[in-house]
A and B are shown apart, each in its own frame.
Chain A
Amino acid sequence: GAVVSQHPSWVICKSGTSVKIECRSLDFQATTMFWYRQFPKQSLMLMATSNEGSKATYEQGVEKDKFLINHASLTLSTLTVTSAHPEDSSFYICSARDPDRGYGYTFGSGTRLTVV
């Protein structure tokens, strides 16, 4: 089946630094990838839609200068949390859809970000 790899699985960084999270589709090409944020015991909140070769579309209330998304190839999207603060600590998850496999969306394994 479609495989989405997310890296790193966890990261700890200091306040004020930037962190990059990678999302790769391993066995298919994804023109669109999605980035979610999840707080403990809560649902997934869509942050942005990443489009290959063009600017990402951010959901209302998500700071695009804070959460930089780059989708430079059909198999890689990156999320960079810039000038991270403790309130950015969360579980970040990406997803993508293999267009040859119908409607199903595959999720990455997630990245636990802790800002200290």
Chain B
Amino acid sequence: QQQVKQSPQSLIVQKGGIPIINCAYENTAFDYFPWYQQFPGKGPALLIAIRPDVSEKKEGRFTISFNKSAKQFSLHIMDSQPGDSATYFCAASIGNGNKLVFGAGTILRVKS
């Protein structure tokens, strides 16, 4: 009930491509869905987040698509660059200030 399932485990795209990472959840009480980017040896950094009252949110080259009925959300990275190569985590939480539940992570490699 508390899990967030993330796929794929790893992803390789060419520079300029649009990698898509998907997450699914079961608990309908989740009301905050962030995506984090993590480089080796560093803490995760918040990329973009969405609440369930909207179906899409865009910030720069990053877009979240949210499908409330399917209980799924995804991250799209437009015009991907080698510098986007990192591990990406989706997460979810219930309410304000409560703990995050993380997906397993996706290792993205953007080939130049």
Contact = CB atoms under 8 A, between A and B. Distances in A.
A89 interface: no
Interface of A: 4, 6, 32, 34, 41-44, 46, 49, 91, 93, 95, 97, 99, 102-110, 112
B100 A46 contact: yes
A43 B104 CA distance: 5
B99 interface: yes
A93 B97 contact: no
Interface of B: 32, 34, 36, 41-46, 49, 51, 89, 93, 96-97, 99-100, 102-105, 107
A97 B103 contact: no
A6 B43 CA distance: 10
A49 B93 CA distance: 14
B44 A107 contact: yes
A49 B44 CA distance: 18
Specify which of B42, B44, B104, B105 lies most central, judged by the most chain A CB atoms within 10 Å of its CB: B44
Given A44-B44, A44-B89, A110-B43, A97 B97 contact: yes
Contacts of A49: 99
Nearest to A45: B102
Contacts of A107: 36, 43-45
A116 B89 CA distance: 30
A63 B100 CA distance: 20
Nearest to B107: A41
A34 B49 CA distance: 19
Contacts of B34: 103-105
Contacts of B36: 107
Nearest to B95: A103
B42 to A, nearest CB: 6
A107 B46 CA distance: 8
A31 B89 CA distance: 25
Which 7 residue pairs are nearest across A and B when measured between Cβ atoms? A107-B43, A110-B43, A103-B32, A43-B102, A109-B43, A107-B44, A93-B43
